[in-house]
Structure 1
Amino acid sequence: MYSIEPVPLPHEGPSDIFLWRVDFAFDASLDGAAFKSLSDDERARARNFRRHEDALRFASVRVVLREQLARHLGMAAHAIRFASDANHRPHLADSTALDFNVSHAGAHGLIAMSPKRRVGVDIEHHSDKFDWHSIAALTLDASEAAWIERLDIEQQLAAFYEAWVAKEALVKTTGVGITRGLQHLTVLPRDNAEVTLRNEIPDDMREIAARWIAAPEGYSACVAWSTKTFAG
């Protein structure tokens, strides 16, 4: 019988952050027992995807999210209820006990969860057909674009994706992001696993930290969190 087994991921962030990778099996059927905890709304949303792979990504991550939330809350996975805030960020409908965030790309998904702080996560699949120059103005500070250009051609795409996942994880942690756009966050050059915000730091990023995390070959990933906890 098919089951979805999340992979716990080590990281060097706060110990209250739990992180899992979800590996997708695209030959799985959404009618299988592994997806029994999905709500009717989630099943309808999955059916609205045109591609089975996209439906499978959404459903698999949501099943694991339900299971992990249920384990921490001591309740049944199918009983978990979700809501969205004004910025369409999902949260628990009946509790503020846990914050979570998800991302998926290619054959993998990521889930971050914490009972003490806001979290954000992003994973991206490196596409050799993608021209990073085409969206550089929307995603990179001019100094970052210039730094990437100085790299060997085979290193440029990976560097772009590293910047992208870091900025996405940071913005997803705030819940509202920055109104000026990703290009006004500067995270390159990368010195180590710790994401360092360079140049001017926007006000909504002053209590946010992040680290790049190990990802499967051909992927980049990052987890971010608020340095201020719910308790203050």
Structure 2
Amino acid sequence: MDKAVFHITQDIYGRPNVASHQHWEGDFNLSHSGDWIVLALTTNGRVGIDVEEIKPVNKDIMHYALSNQEFQMALHQPLHVFYELWTLKEALFKTGLFPNLSPHLLDTTVIKRTRADLSTQLLYLDQRHPVTICWNNSSTNVKLTTLNRHQLLEE
């Protein structure tokens, strides 16, 4: 894609997208945490990505971020389980397919059962940084690129 023929805009929810390019049906999404920046790019469909740093979290924040079922599951698990759920939930939101839901109303256990058109993948960039990517199945060509701050500045 020629850089001169497109520009990045935001929708009403603040989600970035490529505007004014007639032949591109793809999507992209960015996330960052600590020294990590992640970019998800697809040539067709929608994509969302989220990375978080695992660190102590207040139970009130967990309760706000998770559905009741997710909260009960995460409450009695190691901390990384909360962050795996949180990155999944954020990646789902960041596809732009669930714009009017608050975090505690989006139950990932229900979404995984009822939305066969969505695919997700959980990865760890290192021991403290889970990243989840979500895309709809029309997006058959998903590319995940990870750079830490130092790699980005070297380019």
User: TM-score, structure 1 length as denominator?
Assistant: 0.52
Which residue is 1:165 aligned to?
A: 87
The answer for the alignment partner of 2:100 in structure 1 is 179
* Pair 1:95–1:80, CA change in 2 (3 A): closer
Q: Pick from 21, 44, 63 the counterpart of residue 95 of structure 1.
A: 21
Change (3 A) 1:148 1:86: closer
What corresponds to 1:83 in structure 2? Answer: 9
CA distance in 1, matches of 2:89, 2:99: 10
Q: How far, CA to CA, are the matches of 1:179 and 1:80 in structure 2?
A: 28
In structure 2, the CA distance between the partners of 1:127 and 1:79, relative to structure 1 (3 Å rule), is: farther
**Paired residues of 1:103 and 1:111 also in contact (CA < 8 A):** yes
- Cα deviation 1:171-215 (Å, max 9, x = unaligned): 111x15253322233336xxxxxxx725xx5xxx56322121232
Instruction: Structure 2: state its 5+ residue gaps.
Output: 141-155
How many aligned residue pairs are there? Answer: 138
Match of 1:51 in 2: none
Give the distance between the partners of 1:138 and 1:144, measured in 2 at CA: 11
1:49-60 pair list within 5 angstroms: none
Q: Secondary structure at the match of 1:212?
A: strand
Cα-to-partner distance string for 1:125-169 (whole Å, 9 max, x where unaligned): 1123x32x1212321122222222333xxx1x2111111000010
Which of 112, 115, 119 aligns to 1:197? It is 112
Partner in structure 1 of residue 61 of structure 2? 135
Q: Does the CA-based 8 Å contact 2:6-2:21 persist in structure 1? A: no
Which protein is richer in strand relative to its size? 2
User: Does 2:130 correspond to 1:220?
Assistant: yes
What is the CA deviation profile of residues 26-57 of structure 1, one whole-angstrom value per residue up to 9, with x for unaligned ones? xxxxxxxxxxxxxxxxxxxxxxxxxxxxxxxx
| AA partner of residue 180 (structure 1) | L
Q: Which has the larger radius of gyration?
A: 1
Distance 1:118 1:176, change over 3 A: closer
Q: Which moved more, 1:81-90 or 1:221-230?
A: 221-230
Structure 1: 4+ residue segments shifted above 3 A: none
TM value normalised by structure 2: 0.75
Q: Contact 1:138–1:181 at 8 Å: present in 2 too? A: no
**Counterparts of 1:171 and 1:108, CA distance in 2:** 20
Given that residues 34 and 53 in structure 2 are in contact (C-alpha distance below 8 angstroms), is that contact kept between their aligned partners in structure 1? Answer: yes
SS at match of 1:211: strand
User: 2:91 corresponds to which letter in structure 1?
Assistant: A
- Structure 1 vs Structure 2: percent identity of aligned residues? 25
Deviation of residue 80 (structure 1)? 4.8
